Amino acid sequence: MNLIEKIKNLKKEKDAIILAHNYQTREVQEIADFVGDSLELARKAMNVDAKIIVFAGVDFMAETAKILNPDKKVLIPSRLASCEMASYLSPEMIDEYRKKYPEAKVVLYVNSTATCKAKADVICTSANAVEVVNSLDSNTVLFGPDSNLAAYVATKTNKKIIPLPANGHCYVHTNLGVENVRRDGILMVHPECSIELQKIADVVASTGGMVKFVAKSNAKRFIVATERDMVSRLARDFPDKEFIPAWSNAICLGMKQITLSNIYNSLKDEIYEIEIPEDIAKNARRAIERMLEVK
């Protein structure tokens, strides 16, 4: 029996489901029951009818699934699958900024730790950040940890957006500079990229937003300015169109820790289980649910 068949058998036997992010390799996407962006995955996690969720993505995504499903077993196949951006923000920094701007609300990008989420007023993803910010009654918003997404939101709202911290970013997206990006097709740019790159884009969108944009477009050739494997997702959905990574070195090392072989081990040995202390999970859940009420 090959590895794919073994994974399929174990999924049935253990009543498990595999959720995968759009940045996973094509073979991982193909074995998954559902592939999506951060928001789609969070929503899907809430409606999963299975005992075990195996999360093919990075830590904050698996944590979000666990926070929304405290009674389910949520597994991440590798402890090294983590999002570097989340480490730019600590709970202490949030406390400090809150003291400095007592009138402000705190909006945290889902790419943050559970402990930070527990201190936020509301969470957002890149698919709903503008709507979440505009839903607040405060005119000043502390937004973190991605300063590029904060800059994007600032161009779409009348509210004052203060990045928290000033330098939070994703190395994969900030290395996609205006100078190393191809321009020989419709340019789709993720809002984690620099504002300079966002300005020359044909569309700025979350990974799920890119899928929706392509579905509506008559164009045949797209340059994809985000993690390289986004083209795997797009090529699967739209085999008649051409997708080119804006820069072939845009690779998220955290995402690439997930492989067919560690998915198999994860299912077999039920490792590595995500556990979040209930006091943190409770407050983080409130902030995530607030987001899900908005969009």
Instruction: Please say which residue, 59 or 192, places its beta carbon nearer to ligand 13P.
Output: 192
**Choosing among ligand 13P, ligand SF4, none, which partner's interface includes residue 125 (Cβ < 5 to 8 Å by kind)?**
ligand 13P
Task: Report what 254 binds from ligand SF4, ligand 13P, none; CB cut-off 5-8 Å by kind.
Answer: ligand SF4
Q: Is 83 near ligand SF4 (CB under 6 A)?
A: yes
Tell whether residue 63 is a contact of ligand 13P (CB under 6 A).
no
DSSP letter string over 169-198?
A: --HHHHTS-GGG---SSEEEE-TTS-HHHH
Q: How far apart are CA 69 and CA 53, in angstroms?
A: 10
| 67 interacts with ligand SF4 by CB under 6 A | no
- Which of ligand SF4, ligand 13P, none lies near 126, with the C-beta cut-off 5 to 8 A by kind? ligand 13P
Nearest CB to ligand 13P, comparing residues 109 and 264 = 109
* CB nearer to ligand SF4: pick between 164 and 252: 252
- Residue 255 and residue 122: Cα distance in Å, rounded? 25
Query: By CB under 6 A, what part of segment 95-134 binds ligand SF4?
Result: 111
207 binds ligand 13P (CB under 6 A): yes
Widest distance between CA atoms in the chain? 61
Instruction: Please name which of 171, 247, 229, 210 lies closest in space to residue 24, comparing C-alpha atoms.
Output: 229
β partners of residue 223: 187, 244
Smallest distance, ligand SF4 to C-beta of residue 254, A: 5
Closest separation in Å from C-beta 131 to ligand 13P: 14
Who's near 153: CB < 8 A, 6+ residues apart?
129, 130, 133, 141, 143, 161
Position 170 contacts ligand 13P (CB under 6 A): yes
CA atoms within 13 A on the CB side of 158: 3
H or E stretch including 140? strand 140-144
Omega of the bond leading into 165 within 30 degrees of 0 (cis): yes
Nearer to ligand SF4, 77 or 254 (CB): 254
**Whole-number minimum distance, CB 279 to ligand SF4, in Å?**
26
Q: How far is the CB of 125 from ligand 13P (least distance, A)?
A: 5
- Contact call for residues 18 and 105 (beta carbons, < 8 A): no
Min dist. Cβ of residue 209 to ligand 13P (A)? 7
Among 255, 267, 274, 288, binds ligand SF4 (CB under 6 A): 255
Reading the block at residue 38, the tokens are 């951060």
Contact status: 210 vs ligand SF4 (CB under 6 A): no
Q: Cβ contacts of residue 208 below 8 Å, gap of 6+?
A: 22, 36, 37, 39, 40, 127
Q: Least CB distance from residue 162 to ligand 13P, whole Å? A: 22
Contact string (CB under 6 A) for ligand 13P, positions 13-52, x = contact: ---------x--------------xx--------------
Contact residue for ligand 13P among 126, 128, 147, 194 (CB under 6 A) = 126
Chain residues in the site for ligand SF4 (CB under 6 A): 58, 83-85, 111, 170, 172, 192, 227, 252, 254-255
